């Protein structure tokens, strides 16, 4: 293995790329050079952070099938081999070769996109006859109509617009700044530079005003527009000569339009129902491996209903809640380390606008400890970790359709390890990390569960 | 702080320390076992052992050597059982443990981790995609990634190395900006 620096050498070692002789030589150096050993530990810690970030980022995308929380190589390899067999015809290397200015370094190449659009990632895709050779990395020309029978495909326009289509769906890449959805559903994430990007449906033009949104069209021609972030404008298309009927939707708004493109009522925004409602739609930028993100609030949080010995579950409960009155919570942000949950009461003032997230750890019949961390896009305002405060705020912040009732309601929150005025066992601990991060060490005993409601500042409208 | 008189506070501090030093601890374990699954399992095992034997912790300054000692024992058991062909010498396990103690004591690892996460978020889309594919656990090794990218192993290592170098420069830049700001 040819290595040019200690950094390369240590990276190669961690990647298991050194042979026996090279490992022996490195071992000698590590014994003789304390600074090299420190460099190795530091690099290995960073490798762990990257793996944590990659797993969390990958997990944020709602999966087609139930996602393995831990790495399941057997299944992953099977899926990978299937994808590889599909990519044989074109393949990513061929895609690079097709560039006007092919460059071997994909990092350098991305500064000069020479494609109309391309397929970034496909998951479990079955394409219509004639499109079987489409695979990850395929370039797509404007005018191409994609007919996806099943699965999820993510398309990237050269402008940076990302469209995720979910089969069954028919979608045409019309031009650099538009696409056409005939039937099915998609979600689009539009960067600022591409504002004005438009998705045409048979009855509507949905024009981006700097946003992330989802579109769904059923066989009867009814269209749903869900705005996850930002703003979109809808315009009727028919009849062509008639004045357009316009409607504007903003963050967290969703609406239904009839088969003539006319407004037909408001909907609850369906964050969990769109694969492309990417993580920023949820306002969470990072979770570590102990946590499992649920794209949709579960039907029940009662004991035993959402149970795992290894996973701490997290989901968005509600967005944009404006407090009608002063509300008791357990701690404010920037309180440092927190472990006295039974006695803490502070108040969040009326008028505060928050997004609410629920963290839930119920390992069942065994005692389990987990360490975890989470980072949000916007500042954390505080947490609710006391059982009585959780109960009192379920109606205010709780997800619609989720049952929060617990038979042993007193054991819902975090535990400070104090019983009868004396310390009996290890407490749960929460530590604020800057204004957007939270780290925690949870320990759950049989018959109890840990829950924390995390309140994050809503985006200003 | 009088730890004997204030056991509750000691408990809270111990758990918080476990969170704070997670990256250094993981770094030590991963440096020894070089497998994220195994490292994660050992880390969770060490955390549980630490929480379970909290009474043995005398004071805050003893936390790191104590928890690394727990990790060292578990790593040694793992290394002895390992089927790897290019195995780490068991003699290195205590040497890396000492290095982990020194690294964690500098308090720089937390800043580095924060900077690294910011740098990962700012990666260009294609680099980001490659890093996710490499690290998210969906493939076994670089050979699979190479196949997926339609490149040779050597070229794929080159790409990964360049992204890691880019991340490293980004982290250094951020840290030096913070230091000068």
**Would you list the DSSP string of A77-93?**
HHHHHHHHHHHTSSHHH
User: Among A398, A387, A384, A406, which residue's Cα sits nearest to residue A301?
Assistant: A406
Contact A440, A428 (CB under 8 A): yes
Residue B155: strand, helix, or coil = helix
Number of A to B CB contacts under 8 A, please give it.
251
Digit-coded pLDDT (tens) for A147-163:
998 887 889 898 888 89
Q: End-to-end CA distance of chain B, in Å?
A: 33
Q: What single DSSP character describes residue B162?
A: H
Most confidently modeled of A5-19, A121-135, A289-303, A331-345? A5-19
Pairing verdict, β A117-127 and A139-140: antiparallel
Residue contact B96–A30, C-beta within 8 A: yes
User: Bigger pLDDT: A78 or A262?
Assistant: A262
Calculate ∠ Cα A229-A234-A237, nearest 5°. Answer: 155
Identify the pLDDT of residue B78.
Answer: 83
- Residues A375, A382: Cα–Cα separation, whole Å: 13
Contact A373, A439 (CB under 8 A): yes
Identify the pLDDT of residue A89.
Answer: 22
Kindly report the nearest CA distance between residue A62 and chain B, in angstroms: 15
- Residues A26, A13: Cα–Cα separation, whole Å: 9
Considering chain B, what percentage of its residues have pLDDT values greater than 90?
A: 7
Identify the pLDDT of residue A201.
Answer: 93
DSSP string, A159-209: TS-EEEEEEEEEEEEEETTEEEEEEEEEEEE--GGGTT-EEE-SSEEEEES
Pairing verdict, β A422-423 and A117-127: unpaired
Residue B31 has its nearest CB partner, among A41, A70, A96, at A41
Residue contact B88–A23, C-beta within 8 A: yes
Angle between helices B22-33 and B92-105 (to 10 degrees): 160
Residue of B nearest to A75 (CA): B138
Which residues of chain B are within 8 Å of residue A45 when distances are taken between CB atoms?
Answer: 23-24, 26-28, 30, 103, 109, 112-113
Residues 6 or more apart whose Cβ sits within 8 Å of residue B35: none
Which residues of chain A are within 8 Å of residue B20 when distances are taken between CB atoms?
Answer: 431, 439
Residue of A nearest to B51 (CA): A426
Which residues of chain B are within 8 Å of residue A38 when distances are taken between CB atoms?
Answer: 99, 102-103
Query: Has residue A223 got a pLDDT over 90?
Result: yes
Which residues of chain B are within 8 Å of residue A8 when distances are taken between CB atoms?
Answer: 161
Strands (E), A230-336: 231-236, 246-250, 254-257, 263-267, 284-287, 291-293, 312-322, 327-329, 331-332
Query: Has residue A226 got a pLDDT over 80?
Result: yes
Residue contact A371–B22, C-beta within 8 A: yes
Considering chain A, what percentage of its residues have pLDDT values greater than 90?
A: 28
Query: Has residue A308 got a pLDDT over 80?
Result: yes
Pairing verdict, β A198-200 and A178-189: parallel
Contact A201, A183 (CB under 8 A): no
Kindly report the nearest CA distance between residue B121 and chain A, in angstroms: 9
Q: Is A56 exposed, middle or buried (0-12, 13-18, 19+ CB in 10 A)?
A: buried
Contact A453, A351 (CB under 8 A): no
User: Bigger pLDDT: A139 or A454?
Assistant: A454
Digit-coded pLDDT (tens) for A417-433:
766 655 566 678 888 87
Residue of A nearest to B125 (CA): A110
Task: Mutate one of A48, A81, A163 to test the B interface: name it (highest B CB count within 10 A).
Answer: A48
Contact A361, A441 (CB under 8 A): no
From A37-51, A123-137, A297-311, the region with the lowest mean pLDDT:
A123-137
Angle between helices B153-180 and B125-135 (to 10 degrees): 110
Q: What single DSSP character describes residue B177?
A: H
Phi-psi region of A421 (alpha: psi -120 to 50; beta: other; left: phi over 0): left
Pairing verdict, β A254-257 and A246-250: unpaired
User: Among A16, A17, A6, which residue's Cα sits nearest to residue A40?
Assistant: A6
Residue of A nearest to B25 (CA): A45
Residue contact B86–A109, C-beta within 8 A: no
Residue contact B30–A14, C-beta within 8 A: yes
Give the mean pLDDT of chain B.
Answer: 79
- Mean predicted confidence (pLDDT) in A320-337: 84
User: Among A261, A230, A231, which residue's Cα sits nearest to residue A245?
Assistant: A261
- Residues A161, A141: Cα–Cα separation, whole Å: 15
Residue contact B162–A93, C-beta within 8 A: no
Task: Report cis status (omega within 30 of 0) of the bond before A139.
Answer: no
ipTM: 0.89
Contact A142, A169 (CB under 8 A): no
Residue B131 has its nearest CB partner, among A23, A54, A59, at A54
- Residues B157, B142: Cα–Cα separation, whole Å: 7
Digit-coded pLDDT (tens) for B66-96:
888 888 888 888 877 776 555 567 788 888 9
Q: End-to-end CA distance of chain A, in Å?
A: 55
Contact A333, A380 (CB under 8 A): yes
User: Among A132, A128, A135, which residue's Cα sits nearest to residue A87?
Assistant: A135
- Residues A37, A94: Cα–Cα separation, whole Å: 42
User: Among A315, A317, A312, which residue's Cα sits nearest to residue A291?
Assistant: A312
Residues 6 or more apart whose Cβ sits within 8 Å of residue A188: A161, A162, A163, A164, A179, A197, A199, A208, A212, A213, A214, A215, A276
Residue B16 has its nearest CB partner, among A31, A80, A429, at A429
DSSP string, A26-79: HHHHHHH-HHHHHHHHHHHHHHHHHHHHHHHHHHTSPPSSPPPSS--HHHHHHH
């Amino acid at each position: 293995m040819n290595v040019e620096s200690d950094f390369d050498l240590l990276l190669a070692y961690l990647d298991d790329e050194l042979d026996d002789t090279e490992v022996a030589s490195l071992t000698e150096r590590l014994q003789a050079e304390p600074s090299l050993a420190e460099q190795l530990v530091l690099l290995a810690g960073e490798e762990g952070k990257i793996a944590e970030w990659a797993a969390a980022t990958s997990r944020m995308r709602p999966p087609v099938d139930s996602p393995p929380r831990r790495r399941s190589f057997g299944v992953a390899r099977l899926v990978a081999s299937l994808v590889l067999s599909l990519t044989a015809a074109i393949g990513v290397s061929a895609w690079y070769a097709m560039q006007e200015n092919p460059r071997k370094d994909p990092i350098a190449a991305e500064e000069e996109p020479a494609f109309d659009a391309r397929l970034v990632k496909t998951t479990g895709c079955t394409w219509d006859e004639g499109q079987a050779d489409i695979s990850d990395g395929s370039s797509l020309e404007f005018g191409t109509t994609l007919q996806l029978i099943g699965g999820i495909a993510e398309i990237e326009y050269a402008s940076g617009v990302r469209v995720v289509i979910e089969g069954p769906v028919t979608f045409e890449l019309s031009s650099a700044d538009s696409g056409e959805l005939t039937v099915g559903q998609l979600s689009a994430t539009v960067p600022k530079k591409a504002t004005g990007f438009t998705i045409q449906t048979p009855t509507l033009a949905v024009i981006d005003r700097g946003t992330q949104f989802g579109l769904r069209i059923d066989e009867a021609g009814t269209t749903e527009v869900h705005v996850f972030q930002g703003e979109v404008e809808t315009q009727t298309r028919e009849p062509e000569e008639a004045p357009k009927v316009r409607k504007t939707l903003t963050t967290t708004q969703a609406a239904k339009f009839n088969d003539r493109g006319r407004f037909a009522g408001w909907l609850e925004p369906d964050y969990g129902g769109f694969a492309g409602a990417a993580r920023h739609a949820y306002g969470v930028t990072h979770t570590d491996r102990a946590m499992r993100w649920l794209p949709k609030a579960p039907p029940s949080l009662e004991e035993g209903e959402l149970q795992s010995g290894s996973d701490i579950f997290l989901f968005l409960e509600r967005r944009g809640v404006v407090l009608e009155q002063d509300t008791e919570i357990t701690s404010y942000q920037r309180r440092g380390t927190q472990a006295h949950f039974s006695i803490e009461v502070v108040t969040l003032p009326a008028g505060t606008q928050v997004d609410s997230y629920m963290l839930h750890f119920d390992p069942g019949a065994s005692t389990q400890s987990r360490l975890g961390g989470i980072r949000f896009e916007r500042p954390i305002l505080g947490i609710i970790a006391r059982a009585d405060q959780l109960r009192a705020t379920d109606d205010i912040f709780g997800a619609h359709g989720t049952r929060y009732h617990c038979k042993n309601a007193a054991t819902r929150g975090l535990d400070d390890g104090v019983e009868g005025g004396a310390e009996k066992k290890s407490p749960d601990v929460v530590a604020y990390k800057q204004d957007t991060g939270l780290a925690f060490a949870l320990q759950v005993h049989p018959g109890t569960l840990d829950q924390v409601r995390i309140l994050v500042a809503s985006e200003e409208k | 702080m009088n730890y004997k008189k204030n056991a509750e506070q000691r408990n809270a501090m111990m758990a918080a320390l476990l969170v704070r030093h997670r990256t250094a601890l993981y770094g030590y374990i991963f440096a020894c076992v070089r497998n994220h699954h195994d490292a994660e399992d050992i880390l969770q095992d060490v955390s549980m052992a630490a929480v379970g034997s909290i009474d043995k912790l005398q004071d805050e300054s003893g936390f790191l050597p104590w928890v690394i000692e727990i990790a060292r024992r578990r790593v040694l058991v793992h290394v002895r059982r390992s089927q790897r062909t290019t195995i780490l010498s068991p003699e290195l396990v205590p040497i890396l443990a000492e290095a982990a103690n020194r690294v964690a004591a500098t308090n720089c690892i937390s800043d580095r981790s924060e900077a690294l996460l910011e740098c990962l978020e700012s990666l260009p889309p294609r680099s980001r995609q490659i890093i996710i594919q490499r690290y998210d656990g969906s493939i076994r090794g670089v050979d699979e990634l190479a196949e997926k990218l339609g490149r040779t192993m050597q070229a794929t290592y080159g790409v990964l190395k360049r992204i890691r170098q880019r991340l490293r420069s980004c982290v250094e830049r951020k840290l030096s900006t913070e230091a000068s700001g």
